[in-house]
Amino acid sequence: MRISIVKSSILLLLTAMTTGCVGSSSVTKQPQALPTSTEQPTKEAVLNSTATPTAKPIEHSTPEATIAANPTRCETSQLSVRRVSEDAGVGNVALTYAFTNNASSPCTLYGYPGLALLDEKDQPLKKVKILRSESTYFSSKQPRQQVTLAPGKQASFQIAYNHIRSTEEQCPMSSKIEITPPNAYKHFTLTEQINPCTGKVRVTPVRSADAQPK
């Protein structure tokens, strides 16, 4: 009787083991989902991306043309000069010269013209000093002013000196004079005899021709 019970227990155990093995082989394994990465992309990955950024176009600006508010200064090439009058009294002499604008556009003059007295060899006279002066024996103080010369208009100035000899020494005498417009580089050469016995010649600034004393 006891032996039969033991055999029955062994048989049941073997049956359960066999059934478990068969059941386990029929289980279908489900594919596992790939883990989702929470890491941010690296800087190198971004730089190596196939997407090409669109470059912002560079804007180039062109400066506007500047128009001069005032006429340009007069060049020697657009002017002419001549003596227009002469005054004399008590040994003093004043020669008035005028620049004329021969160009088709206006230009400006400001300040003192250049002056040189030359001898017969075209050399500057010795012992003669050129002085800038706002007044002469024949004209009151005339400060510098900017003169705008329209085409055909004039601006004048004076050359003044004393021709009375105070010693036995002979006074210097020019054969020519050189006149340079204010702020210019080239000059005019005129035949002119000037004998400044005191060794001084005064030159006034250019003024409007209408502003000169009559």
Domain extent listing, the chain: 76-211
Exposed e or buried b per residue across 169-185, where buried means at least 16 C-beta atoms within 10 angstroms of its C-beta:
eebbebbbbbbbbbebe
Residues 65-91: pLDDT tens digits? 334 456 899 999 999 999 999 999 889
Q: Tell me which of 50-59, 114-123, 145-154, 188-197 is least confident.
A: 50-59
Give the span between the Cα atoms of 98 and 158, in whole angstroms.
Answer: 9
Tell me yes or no: is domain 76-211 CATH 3.40.50: no
CB 180 within 8 A of CB 76: yes
Q: Which amino acid is at 19?
A: T
pTM for the full predicted model: 0.65
Report the C-alpha gap between 203 and 159 in whole angstroms: 5
pLDDT tens column, 22-49: 444 443 444 444 444 444 555 454 444 4
- Residue 74 corresponds to which tokens in the numbers above? 């007069």
pLDDT computed for residue 38 by the predictor: 45
pLDDT value at position 73?
Answer: 93
Are 125 and 119 contacting, i.e. CB atoms less than 8 angstroms apart? yes
What does the alpha-carbon distance between residue 141 and residue 113 come to, in Å, rounded to a whole number? 17
3-class DSSP string for 131-148: EECCCECCECCCCCCCEE
Task: Give the mean pLDDT of the chain.
Answer: 77
The residue type at 13: L
